[in-house]
Structure 1
Amino acid sequence: MRRRFLALAAAWLTTRALMLVLLAFSGLPLLGGGAAAREVWHLYHHWYGVLADGAFPAQDPRWQYPPGAGPVLLSPALLPWLTYFQAFVVLTLLADAAVTAALARAGTRPGHSLRGAALWTGGLPLLLHVPLVRYDVQVTALAVFSLLATSRRPRAGGVFAALGALVKVWPALVLLGTPRGGVTRSAWTWAAATGALTVLLLSAVFADPLSFLRQQGRRGVQIESLGGTVLSFATHAGWPGTVGYRYGALEFTGPHVRTVADVSLVLTVVAFGLLALWRLRARHWTPATPYDAALSAVLLFTVTSRVISPQYMIWLLGLAAVCLTSRHTAQRPVVVLVVAATAVSAVVYPLLYHEVQDRTWTGCALMLLRNGLLVAAAVLSFSRLWRASRPRPGNTAAGSEPEPGGDRLPQGVPSTS
């Protein structure tokens, strides 16, 4: 086991050093001409100045994040001897290391595996230097901590999920698969209480904490989304729409764009309806069910979104890694598709983003491949989650239903944290 930990540490140090090298040379045209890093030293730093004055950037149409994002963007102040950019990258690497350590620790428990830590270590660099200049690693860390803590310490799991949701909403989905009974009651109650208290605290410190809702509701169809892929191909059939920079992303404008956006929202509602139906009808829980449900839910959220930015893959890699920590997971084929989609995402952005922006045949093909892999992963993930949660014929033993009351998992389900 010690050799495996040493190999994992060596792999982490090597791959993160390579990511830092890519970041140092990110100004090269092949690496996007510095566009990825500009998000931190220009946009995040600008928001940092506004937040430091005690207000959220309510008038900035690019601000579309819940109030918990404020403390994350202010966190580089913890390292005052560094520039904002340097401090942000250092803190991102620390969050990355914490995720790796949590996954490795979980992998040493009975019925678990170090494959999850290995996937995170080797999968994140597939996105090149982009994870270092987005705060999605920090958000993913909160989601990972929540999942790994919930079975043994549901209160802590609920707290981490709420904090993650206040930064980028989607971590609220990681509590979807908690076993019925005391675990769910405790985790969900603590999540709700933590969320409410944190919002009250942020409202007392900052002005306009809920301004993000106004900007989020105005978003259109981003060129990297599933709907954007349809519109990109439509341009080759004579559709007259154009691409412009709106609300912090490249979005389509033109006829029928609003319809495509509305269809995306409807599909999101349908996806959440399916997840609710699964929750109501699921009867068989394994130690991996909460992990599998989280990955399935976020995949469905991703593919039906009006925006599928490159950093969304960080979320999916983190959840896929949590799934692989358990030998009971039903999501192994899904993980393969997620890794493949991640690799294609790096080609899309930053390597050939101009092709996507110009809607060339190459750009269209890349988006069809990446989004096709994500759709396949979402469908396969949900179908495998559904089948794995159905009662086994003649099996009424442990794992079918949790015991009522208390913060205990079903008999025979080991803790995962």
Structure 2
Amino acid sequence: MSLLVVAEPRYRRALLAWLVTRLLLMLMATTVIPWFSHGAVLGDVKIYNGWARILEHGSYPVHDNRWQYPPAAALIFLAPLLVTHFGASYLVTFFFLALLADLAVFLLLLGHAHRNAAADGADAHLTGVWVWVVGGFAIGPLLLMRYDVIVTALAVAGLVLPARSVKLRWSARGALLGLGTIIKVWPGALILGLPPKGPGRRAVAWAVGTALVLTAILSLSMTGALSFLSGQSNRGIEVESVLASVFMFLHWFGYPAKVAMSYGSFQISGPGISAVASFAELLTVVGVGIVLWWRLMRFRPRCWTPGLMYDTAFTVVLVLVVTSRVLSPQYLIWLLGLAALVLTENGPMRRGTVMARPACLVVFCVLITQVEFPLLFGEVMGGQFWGTMVVAARNLILVVACVQALRRLWQAGAREPQEFAEPVKTAASVTHTS
């Protein structure tokens, strides 16, 4: 899609909304407009700055137990540092880098809606675009104060990046997913939804190749590139995670739960917590295993559609978030990007998704993000009523969405193509037009 398409009258309202909301977020992030709990939310960017000072000397911050990131995350943290040599602030530069990633997601979604409209001979269905615009603003300045929006941009591009050549399209998409994997891991799970046969194999090959080559380069050029593997294994149950809600309720009835900062997040401690942490890992394996089993045993190659690819991506990331030992607010940025992509396929002439309802549930959770963090976060850590109830309600909705998504995906993979409500297209044709 030409960038000039964004200026078309039918897209100007969405573009104006993005510009206004992002200007407000940038003004909040830089404290031009006062925003509550600014210092607490800004903390991670200050940590990134400290890590960048270590990384520029050729070593990963292996002695900092908060470092639990794949090797290519270093590239994200170092990028703003390059600009500081010209007198710019690291913090503001990072905000602009995140803003560019946010703009990339907006343009990718808009371009995808535009191509769908051209293929269907209908007006563009912009629900997904509006979900990203409004949802991103609902998350607040946190959107610009974490690097998760950058990873989300890579993931969305890895699913919808356009190119004239089919081979180039899937090669580029695979490379982007591979890059995202060694920055934040979770984009690697999106390969479960890739098309069968040639295009999918090409994308997987490029994803694996990109990840291996960059990991090798970073491992040879810097020390401690793979230290994140042991760091992740030591994490406990974070206070906002799904499983933590159970213990926060029990705390009201005498369970000796304590909340303290550890490994970069506020974790709960108490009898049986370590066993539950191990159980969370088992739940992740089971959840991803269900999706993998579906793909290997129930999925019929002729049933593949681009919409099914987005549904699979949304489902597997939702599984990862719900079963994770940590559920920081910025994780909802991942889900927001994929939910927006899913809802872009839900136009009246298309109906190419089976995940509209779970996606809407996730969007609702995104819209109340700032209520949980940072507004009520003090109550969350203290196990007080409103903070605990808001987090528990959000987590329950996410669990419901996850169960629904798994059920719908399980059923969708065995349907014949005509059973989808999408306009009639063969699997081969959508492979070459997506």
Task: Report TM bin, short chain.
Answer: over 0.9
**Larger % of helix: which?**
2
Q: 1:255 to 1:23 in 2, by over 3 A?
A: same
- Residues 63-72 or 252-261, more deviating: 252-261
Aligned match of 1:133:
145
- Summarize the alignment of residues 5-404 of structure 1 with structure 2, pairs less than 5 Å apart: 5-25=11-31, 31-40=36-45, 42-80=46-84, 81-109=87-115, 110-111=119-120, 113-149=125-161, 152=166, 153-280=169-296, 281-283=298-300, 284-326=303-345, 327=350, 328-392=352-416
**Aligned pairs, how many?**
407
1:220 alignment partner, SS class: coil
**1:321-356 deviation per Cα after TM superposition (whole angstroms, max 9, x unaligned):** 111222311111112101111122221101110010
Give TM-score scaled by structure 2 length.
0.89
For the Cα contact (< 8 Å) 1:166–1:195, is it kept in 2? Answer: yes
Alpha-carbon offset, residue 277 of structure 1 = 1.2
Q: Say whether the 8 Å CA contact 1:292–1:323 is kept in structure 2.
A: yes
The whole-number CA distance in structure 2 between the counterparts of 1:221 and 1:93 is: 31
- Stretches of structure 1 that go unaligned for 5 or more consecutive residues are 403-408
SS at match of 1:251: strand
> What's the secondary structure of 2:353's corresponding residue?
coil
Where in structure 2 are there 5+ consecutive unaligned residues?
none
Contact 1:165–1:171 under 8 Å retained in 2: yes
CA distance in 2, matches of 1:88, 1:276: 36
How many Å separate the matches in 1 of 2:10 and 2:396? 35
Cα distance in 1 for partners of 2:424, 2:250 equals: 48
Choose between structure 1 and 2 for higher RCO, CA contacts under 8 A separated by at least 6 residues: 1
DSSP 3-state at the match of 2:267: strand
* Deviations 1:162-212 (CA, angstroms, capped at 9, x unpaired): 100111000011111112111221111111111110001111221110011
**Residue-by-residue CA offset, 1:262-312 (whole Å, 9 max, x unaligned):** 111111111011011110211222220110100000000100000000000
CA contact (8 A) 1:107 1:114 kept: yes
C-alpha deviation, 1:413, in angstroms: 5.0
The range that moved more, 279-288 or 8-17, is: 279-288
Secondary structure of residue in 2 paired with 1:237: coil
Judge conservation of contact 2:248–2:257 (CA < 8 Å) in 1. Answer: no
Q: Report the secondary structure of 1:267's partner residue.
A: helix
TM-superposed CA distance for 1:26, in Å, is: 9.4
What CA distance in whole angstroms lies between the structure 1 residues aligned with 2:149 and 2:417? Answer: 41
8 Å CA contact 1:26, 1:33 repeated in 2: no
Q: 1:288 to 1:131 in 2, by over 3 A?
A: same
Task: Give the distance between the partners of 1:170 and 1:150, measured in 2 at CA.
Answer: 22
Separation (CA, whole Å) in 2 of partners of 1:26 and 1:38: 18
Aligned to 1:405: none
Secondary structure of the 2:53 match is: helix
Q: What is the TM-score when the length of structure 1 is the normalising length?
A: 0.92
CA distance in 2 between counterparts of 1:26 and 1:18 reads 9
Q: 2:188, 2:162 → 1: CA distance?
A: 13
Q: In the TM superposition, what is the alpha-carbon distance from 1:78 to its structure 2 partner?
A: 4.0
- Indicate how the Cα distance of structure 1 residues 24 and 181 shifts in structure 2: closer, same or farther if over 3 A, else same: same
1:415 corresponds in structure 2 to 433
Q: Which amino acid aligns with 2:59?
A: A
Name the CA shift for 1:395/1:97 in 2 (closer, same or farther; >3 Å): closer
User: Which region of structure 1 is more displaced relative to structure 2, 65-74 or 325-334?
Assistant: 325-334
- Please identify, of 172-181 and 51-60, the stretch whose mean Cα deviation from structure 2 is larger: 172-181
Aligned identity (percent) is 38
Matched position secondary structure for 1:9 = helix
Structure 1 residue 412, shift from structure 2 partner: 5.0
